[in-house]
Amino acid sequence: MGAERNEQLTPAEALRDYVGAFVAALASAGVRHACIAPGSRSTPLAMMLQREPAIRVWMHLDERSAAYFGLGIAKALREPVALVCTSGTAAVNFAPAVAEAMYDHVPLVVLTADRPPELHDVGANQTIDQQRLYGTHVKSFTQMALPNAAPPAIGQVTATARDAVATALAAPAGPVHLNCPFREPLIPAPGSPAFQEGAPPQAPDGTDAAAEPDAGLVERLARELVAVERGLIVCGPQDDDTFAAAVAGLAEALGFPLLADPLSQVRCGRHDTSLVVDGYDAFLRDAAMATALSPQLVLRFGAAPVSKPLLTYLEANGDRRQIHAGVAPNDPALTGNENIAADAAAFCRALAAALPSPAAAHELAGWAQAWLHTSERATAALLGRVAEESALSEPGAIVDVLSALPDRATLFAGNSMPVRDLDTCLTHSGPDVHFMANRGVSGIDGVMSTGLGVAAVSHEPLVLVIGDLSFYHDMNGLLAAQRYDMNVTIVLVNNDGGGIFSFLPQAAGLTTDGAQAGFETLFGTPHGLDFAPAAELYGLPYRHAETRDGFREAIAGSLAEPGVQIVELRTEREANARLHRELWSAAATAAAKVIEEPEAVSP
Amino acid sequence: MGAERNEQLTPAEALRDYVGAFVAALASAGVRHACIAPGSRSTPLAMMLQREPAIRVWMHLDERSAAYFGLGIAKALREPVALVCTSGTAAVNFAPAVAEAMYDHVPLVVLTADRPPELHDVGANQTIDQQRLYGTHVKSFTQMALPNAAPPAIGQVTATARDAVATALAAPAGPVHLNCPFREPLIPAPGSPAFQEGAPPQAPDGTDAAAEPDAGLVERLARELVAVERGLIVCGPQDDDTFAAAVAGLAEALGFPLLADPLSQVRCGRHDTSLVVDGYDAFLRDAAMATALSPQLVLRFGAAPVSKPLLTYLEANGDRRQIHAGVAPNDPALTGNENIAADAAAFCRALAAALPSPAAAHELAGWAQAWLHTSERATAALLGRVAEESALSEPGAIVDVLSALPDRATLFAGNSMPVRDLDTCLTHSGPDVHFMANRGVSGIDGVMSTGLGVAAVSHEPLVLVIGDLSFYHDMNGLLAAQRYDMNVTIVLVNNDGGGIFSFLPQAAGLTTDGAQAGFETLFGTPHGLDFAPAAELYGLPYRHAETRDGFREAIAGSLAEPGVQIVELRTEREANARLHRELWSAAATAAAKVIEEPEAVSP
């Protein structure tokens, strides 16, 4: 057939065959979900994706929310998701989520429709320069050819689709961009593509041959680590399910305390958490404490921890050996001075295997005991203070949510305050759930859509704890909640503005300056919004908690019902800052006793 | 003082002096408005801008809406507006409006705060590569130095600010990007900058020396044009207030019909509109008519006209001489085969002056009479049909809005259907108001915020006619309506989805295919939203018109009251497409009579 057949094709048939072959190749490479925003120029992609049985299409009206929703699906399933939009600013609206995907290592295949070359630079509608639109925030950019159904073109487009998915998945994963020009007519002929040539379908392979650690390096490191008395393991955000058990085993083999970020999946769960230090964010704020607990060596995994006191502590100990292991070469070094490019879980297992067995090792050293006792006392004091708080509060809300979560649920924490409160309140005996957040760029934008995207494919309940600015920013994302089945409780912590600024020098600087009004204008930014109408707009059940008991009831009620529900609680920014200072002070006082009077706290 | 004094400065004082000098230079170069979204890293810019008395600060919580609001101010005042945000995805959210500004030639000075170099590529929070973030969608990119108060640095930052504003203003105007890294501490010392050196303050100069047309070229062209019998003038979107009278004078001197886009400010107003052809969008849809009215030469001004039939007509006559005059070298050529780089109004005046005076010229030729009579009949038939329509309809809404507008008001038309309906229904005897839209990229995003930005500084009533998808997309922009004084009537034309797609082949293709469901899913995209709660969320008065009389009353009522008000009318996408086909058919039938039986319509 080939060229002979091709000569007889109408433009609509050629369009169908070319785009159809592309979409089939995406599907065979592992793309099972596509988020599409409506548009005219993107018609060939939208229609062929909808005809592809292996791909589920999710429709969205705001491209910004659409892209974050796709990011959520990709994060939940750890597989590549396609985003599709028309030309012009539609494509630009994808950019925030694309940046988050780049820095959070999430595979996305971004398909932007474009006008053909002859409509560029002539003032045509919805036509912008889309070449390298996302700059350095994608792993690769491909300018697609105009559709052409000759066999070499079909072969090429098939290969392009497979390469794009492979690039998106290769560790560290991330977004790729394919810009797709189309000429009219834009409607593909009915039916399936006439032929699909090229390599047979293959499943995506997310593993990387380079992920296994070098055996010699591991053996040498094992010999060195055995001699380390004051070693620490720090686990930042990561989402490999097998990592927690692996790093817990390594910690046991080394006798090192395990400082586990709330997003590391290591702080709590079914693995051994006996070496997990959960209170460091509170007690490392105390400079004397941080100095007393100065390490000799730090083993680091995952992305940058949420805790600023921990980051400051690591930076202050920048002259100590800090080793970071992971597949992402651009994972946070901060003060990490050695990088080992390897799969983190595999590295932990190999290193643990190369060490003397725990039984043969020394008893848990005073060093590890000091960390664990300090943490235990600090956390008990802090959570005791939270438990006393009968009024609604932001830490109280996190504690109550953690108590209410069923097994296998997901807690998605908003940026700014919620993820920090989670860091403060999550203990090593916390629930066996998955903890998520957007920590690639840590923006407050797109959080709601990302959470909804996760819930749309996870089939398990998800609780999203989100501040009012972040809720407002991505309110358009709630349309998906009305459209698609998912089981989500949105805990809207409404302190009428930017709560985190009350903790920054801006607050002190401007308020002592007598310029409270200036602070409120530039940073506090109260909006005065009552969000009940937002729930009504999207037809979502809404509960407003007035008391702490009422909040607990609202959470339980929401978790017992399907669909997306909003539970709002109001807090005050000033009171919240005050309470946090009390919590940290209680933690520091309790912790100081461990260091000052170690005998008083021996187990 | 200089170096000696500088040695004694604290970091907060150096920060104040450096950023203060920068802000003072922006103000002296003509920046009077800054739109700021809250953030921590941007603190130095936000605080020094607020201290600068010559600059008004507008606070916004969603950077996407903030940037479009700033675009609206810049469009209304034709002067540069500063945008300020913190690092990370905040800056990425500015990107859609930046692209619109680039293609719509609107001066913006985009200031993105950034982390200092040592926090890049180490996994720090809210840190992305912001170098050349907006790619080719800005006229220039500048990576600012870290603050430093030594006199050479102050001189440099002052020059940088002036250069940025000058670049933004130079014709064609557009956005510039300055990426501003800051180290902690981020709070400038109290007070004003200690010194500001460099050139004295100067007002911005938006004119371009190259804008005056070449005299020899004008004389030669005048000689050539006198011999042209079937000449046309086509005016696309532009916003120079002096252009309408200039081009009307040229048309009179040449005896050429004037095809004026609704956004050209030429179709109606206080200038002579006797040569204005207002019905071309309807009657040029008829291929026989378009052929009968084939021109010998076309003079073109402004951006690409909204009317697709007109663009098709110009393209079909691509072998005729088409001359485009304007300062923007990338103004739409489409099939224009000559470009004259000159200020359009100046060019019209010079050319008119070089022509024989109109009295000495021949009587209005049959050619011009044919256009004018055709247009008159077509428009009368079309608007007669709209007048008959007692039910609510999209063209009826535009007609009723046009009747209700007070002098000096602004009509801001949303993209997709409203701007096209304006094209259909606006006659040469229309109101003396300003017509605006976002036609740089013609996106449906950011339309509401742009309109609100215009209204915030224009001190005159503004009516924004917007479709439901566009309203939904930028709903966050309504927060500004609650915060700032402005007088706006938002006419929300709600047809529950993408109305324009009912006019495209997608509708026919999918519906004849029996795939109406597929059409609705991918293109119609009904959302089922009732927008009354959106008005409630922002505390805005809301009127829902059920009848055409009710709609007229609602518009009159809204225009009589201050503040921002929403008037919603529901229409049906299918009925709307049908009505439009009837209108075009009525226009074509009436127009055909002029060509077929010219004697029947002689004046």
Nearest-angstrom CA–CA distance, A336 and A318: 7
Inter-chain CB proximity A61 and B525 less than 8 Å? yes
Given this model, what pLDDT does residue B198 score?
47
* DSSP helix/strand/coil, A378: helix
Under 8 Å between Cβ of B182 and B41? yes
Counting the structural domains of chain A, the total is 3
Nearest-angstrom CA–CA distance, B235 and B299: 8
Q: Which of A229-233, B17-21, B101-105, B199-203 has the lowest mean pLDDT?
A: B199-203
Place of tokens 């000449």: B231
> Pick from B75, B98, B104, B74: which is nearest to B85 by CA?
B98
Closest approach of B477 to chain A, Cα-based (Å): 10
pLDDT digits (tens, 9 = 90+) for B477-522: 999 998 999 999 999 999 999 888 888 888 876 655 555 668 889 9
Given this model, what pLDDT does residue A318 score?
87
Q: Which of B361-370, B377-386, B410-419, B576-585 has the lowest mean pLDDT?
A: B361-370
Nearest-angstrom CA–CA distance, B508 and A164: 34
- Residue B386 domain-assigned (yes or no): no
Q: What are phi and psi of A235, to 5 degrees?
A: -110, 115
Q: If you measure CA to CA, which chain B residue comes closest to A522?
A: B38
Distance of CA B86 to the CA centre of its chain: 27
Nearest-angstrom CA–CA distance, A234 and A247: 10
B254 and B195, same structural domain? no
- Residue B581 domain-assigned (yes or no): no
Closest approach of A84 to chain B, Cα-based (Å): 11
- Residues 6 or more apart whose Cβ sits within 8 Å of residue A518: A510, B47, B50
Closest approach of A357 to chain B, Cα-based (Å): 34
Inter-chain CB proximity A505 and B89 less than 8 Å? no
Inter-chain CB proximity B61 and A525 less than 8 Å? yes
Measured between CB atoms, which of B133, B187, B522 is closest to A38? Answer: B522
B468 and B342, same structural domain? no
Q: What is the DSSP letter of B503?
A: G
Q: If you measure CA to CA, which chain A residue comes closest to B517?
A: A50
pLDDT band at A519 (very low <50, low <70, confident <90, very high): confident
Asked if the model's pLDDT at residue B446 lies above 70, the reply is: yes
Chain B hits for A525, Cβ within 8 Å: 38, 59, 61
Inter-chain Cβ pairs, chain A and chain B, closer than 8 A: 230
A352 and A402, same structural domain? no
Chain B hits for A498, Cβ within 8 Å: 38
Under 8 Å between Cβ of B586 and B385? yes
What count of residues does chain B have? 603
Asked if the model's pLDDT at residue B202 lies above 80, the reply is: no
A322 and A183, same structural domain? no
Asked if the model's pLDDT at residue A201 lies above 60, the reply is: no
Q: Would you state the structure tokens that stand for residue B58, as one six-digit string?
A: 């507008």
DSSP string, B354-394: HSPPGGGSPSPPHHHHHHHHHHHHHHHHHHHHHHH--S--H
* CATH label of the domain that carries residue B339: 3.40.50.1220
* DSSP helix/strand/coil, B211: helix
Given this model, what pLDDT does residue A579 score?
96
Chain A hits for B472, Cβ within 8 Å: 61-62, 476, 479
Q: Which residues pair with A491 in a beta bridge?
A: A465, A567
pLDDT digits (tens, 9 = 90+) for B128-159: 999 999 999 999 999 999 999 999 999 999 99
* DSSP helix/strand/coil, A324: strand
- Computed on alpha carbons and rounded to an integer, the radius of gyration of chain B in Å comes to 26
Inter-chain CB proximity B123 and A513 less than 8 Å? no
Chain A hits for B529, Cβ within 8 Å: 479, 537-538
Q: What percent of chain B has pLDDT over 70?
A: 91
Inter-chain CB proximity B122 and A40 less than 8 Å? no
Query: pTM of this prediction?
Result: 0.95
Nearest-angstrom CA–CA distance, A398 and A565: 17
Q: Which of A291-300, A554-563, B184-193 has the lowest mean pLDDT?
A: B184-193
B181 and B155, same structural domain? yes
pLDDT digits (tens, 9 = 90+) for B64-75: 999 999 999 999
Measured between CB atoms, which of A47, A125, A528 is closest to B522? Answer: A47
Inter-chain CB proximity B518 and A50 less than 8 Å? yes
Inter-chain CB proximity A479 and B186 less than 8 Å? no
Asked if the model's pLDDT at residue A603 lies above 50, the reply is: no
Q: What percent of chain A has pLDDT over 90?
A: 81
Inter-chain CB proximity B498 and A330 less than 8 Å? no
Chain B hits for A132, Cβ within 8 Å: 135
Inter-chain CB proximity A122 and B332 less than 8 Å? yes
Inter-chain CB proximity B59 and A476 less than 8 Å? no
Among B328, B346, B377, where does a domain finish?
Answer: B377
Given this model, what pLDDT does residue B367 score?
95
Given this model, what pLDDT does residue B119 score?
87
Under 8 Å between Cβ of B71 and B101? yes
- Residue A172 domain-assigned (yes or no): yes
Given this model, what pLDDT does residue B360 score?
47
Q: Which of B72-86, B249-263, B314-328, B448-462 has the lowest mean pLDDT?
A: B314-328
Strands A231-235 and A140-143: unpaired
Closest approach of A566 to chain B, Cα-based (Å): 15
Inter-chain CB proximity B137 and A126 less than 8 Å? no
* DSSP helix/strand/coil, B90: helix
- Residues 6 or more apart whose Cβ sits within 8 Å of residue B158: B21, B22, B24, B25, B196, B197, B198, B199
Among A377, A400, A429, where does a domain finish?
Answer: A377
* DSSP helix/strand/coil, B294: coil
Inter-chain CB proximity B472 and A38 less than 8 Å? no
A44 and A102, same structural domain? yes
Given this model, what pLDDT does residue A602 score?
44
A6 and A136, same structural domain? yes
Given this model, what pLDDT does residue A598 score?
56
Place of tokens 């009295």: B359
Asked if the model's pLDDT at residue B201 lies above 60, the reply is: no
pLDDT band at A423 (very low <50, low <70, confident <90, very high): very high
Strands A231-235 and A276-277: unpaired
Measured between CB atoms, which of A93, A331, A523 is closest to B96? Answer: A93
pLDDT band at B600 (very low <50, low <70, confident <90, very high): very low
Nearest-angstrom CA–CA distance, B209 and A20: 53
Under 8 Å between Cβ of A327 and A172? yes
Inter-chain CB proximity A479 and B473 less than 8 Å? no
Region A342-349 average pLDDT: 95
Inter-chain CB proximity B332 and A534 less than 8 Å? no
Asked if the model's pLDDT at residue A206 lies above 60, the reply is: no
DSSP string, B440-470: SS--STTHHHHHHHHHHHH-S-EEEEEEHHH
Closest approach of A93 to chain B, Cα-based (Å): 6
Q: If you measure CA to CA, which chain A residue comes closest to B103?
A: A128
pLDDT band at A338 (very low <50, low <70, confident <90, very high): confident
Region B379-408 average pLDDT: 96
Most trustworthy range by pLDDT among A7-11, A416-420, B496-500: A416-420
Closest approach of A515 to chain B, Cα-based (Å): 11
Q: What percent of chain A has pLDDT over 70?
A: 91
ipTM of model = 0.95
Inter-chain CB proximity B186 and A441 less than 8 Å? no
Given this model, what pLDDT does residue B331 score?
47
Domain coverage including residue B140: 2-202
- Residue A383 domain-assigned (yes or no): no
Nearest-angstrom CA–CA distance, B14 and B543: 54
What integer best gives the mean pLDDT of chain A?
91
Q: Would you state the structure tokens that stand for residue B597, as one six-digit string?
A: 């039986």
Dihedral through CA A381, CA A386, CA A389, CA A394, nearest 10? 150
What integer best gives the mean pLDDT of chain B?
91
Under 8 Å between Cβ of B373 and B594? yes
Provide the residue type at B275 as one letter.
L
Q: Would you state the structure tokens that stand for residue B582, as one six-digit string?
A: 């009837």
pLDDT band at B602 (very low <50, low <70, confident <90, very high): very low
Inter-chain CB proximity A334 and B123 less than 8 Å? yes
> Pick from A165, A537, A594: which is nearest to A371 by CA?
A594
- Residue B185 domain-assigned (yes or no): yes
Nearest-angstrom CA–CA distance, B566 and A257: 60
* DSSP helix/strand/coil, B295: coil
Asked if the model's pLDDT at residue A113 lies above 90, the reply is: yes
Inter-chain CB proximity B333 and A123 less than 8 Å? yes
Q: If you measure CA to CA, which chain B residue comes closest to A105?
A: B123
- Residue A152 domain-assigned (yes or no): yes
Asked if the model's pLDDT at residue A205 lies above 60, the reply is: no
The H or E element that residue B298 is part of is strand B297-301
Chain A hits for B506, Cβ within 8 Å: 40, 43, 186-187
Given this model, what pLDDT does residue A335 score?
56
Chain B hits for A527, Cβ within 8 Å: 61, 479
Closest approach of B91 to chain A, Cα-based (Å): 9
Inter-chain CB proximity B331 and A505 less than 8 Å? no
Chain A hits for B116, Cβ within 8 Å: none
Given this model, what pLDDT does residue A469 score?
97
Given this model, what pLDDT does residue B211 score?
77
How many CB atoms sit inside 10 A of residue A498's CB?
27
Given this model, what pLDDT does residue B329 score?
53
Nearest-angstrom CA–CA distance, A141 and A130: 10
Closest approach of A129 to chain B, Cα-based (Å): 7
Asked if the model's pLDDT at residue B5 lies above 90, the reply is: no
B338 and B399, same structural domain? no
Nearest-angstrom CA–CA distance, B422 and B399: 8
> Pick from B297, B289, B338: which is nearest to B314 by CA?
B297
Preferred mutation among B89, B182, B521 to probe A, highest tally of A CBs within 10 A: B89
Strands A462-467 and A434-436: unpaired
pLDDT band at B245 (very low <50, low <70, confident <90, very high): very high
B232 and B141, same structural domain? no
> Pick from B442, B362, B369, B365: which is nearest to B595 by CA?
B369
Inter-chain CB proximity B443 and A523 less than 8 Å? no
Given this model, what pLDDT does residue B195 score?
60
Q: Which of A194-198, A411-415, B107-111, B490-494 has the lowest mean pLDDT?
A: A194-198
- Residue B591 domain-assigned (yes or no): no
pLDDT digits (tens, 9 = 90+) for A485-498: 999 999 999 999 98
- Residue A600 domain-assigned (yes or no): no
Inter-chain CB proximity A443 and B332 less than 8 Å? no
Asked if the model's pLDDT at residue B300 lies above 80, the reply is: yes
Inter-chain CB proximity B123 and A96 less than 8 Å? no
Q: If you measure CA to CA, which chain B residue comes closest to A304?
A: B123
Chain A hits for B41, Cβ within 8 Å: none
Q: What percent of chain B has pLDDT over 90?
A: 81
Under 8 Å between Cβ of A27 and A57? no
Chain A hits for B503, Cβ within 8 Å: none
Region B343-366 average pLDDT: 83
A357 and A290, same structural domain? yes
B223 and B192, same structural domain? no
Closest approach of B9 to chain A, Cα-based (Å): 18
Q: If you measure CA to CA, which chain B residue comes closest to A188?
A: B509
Preferred mutation among A64, A71, A92, A448 to probe B, highest tally of B CBs within 10 A: A92
Region B225-231 average pLDDT: 95
Q: What are phi and psi of A450, to 5 degrees?
A: -60, -45
Nearest-angstrom CA–CA distance, B345 and B350: 9
Chain A hits for B185, Cβ within 8 Å: 505
Among A130, A165, A197, where does a domain finish?
Answer: A197
Chain A hits for B90, Cβ within 8 Å: 443, 445
How many CB atoms sit inside 10 A of residue A565's CB?
22
Strands A258-260 and B33-36: unpaired
Asked if the model's pLDDT at residue A543 lies above 80, the reply is: yes
B430 and B369, same structural domain? no
* CATH label of the domain that carries residue B93: 3.40.50.970
Nearest-angstrom CA–CA distance, A591 and A385: 14
Q: If you measure CA to CA, which chain B residue comes closest to A538?
A: B529
- Residues 6 or more apart whose Cβ sits within 8 Å of residue A302: A235, A236, A237, A238, A261, A263, A264, A326, A331, A344
pLDDT digits (tens, 9 = 90+) for A317-334: 989 999 999 887 544 545
Asked if the model's pLDDT at residue A143 lies above 80, the reply is: yes
Residue that wins the pLDDT comparison between B206 and A98:
A98
Inter-chain CB proximity A334 and B47 less than 8 Å? no
pLDDT digits (tens, 9 = 90+) for B97-128: 999 999 999 999 999 999 999 888 777 888 89
Under 8 Å between Cβ of A412 and A212? no
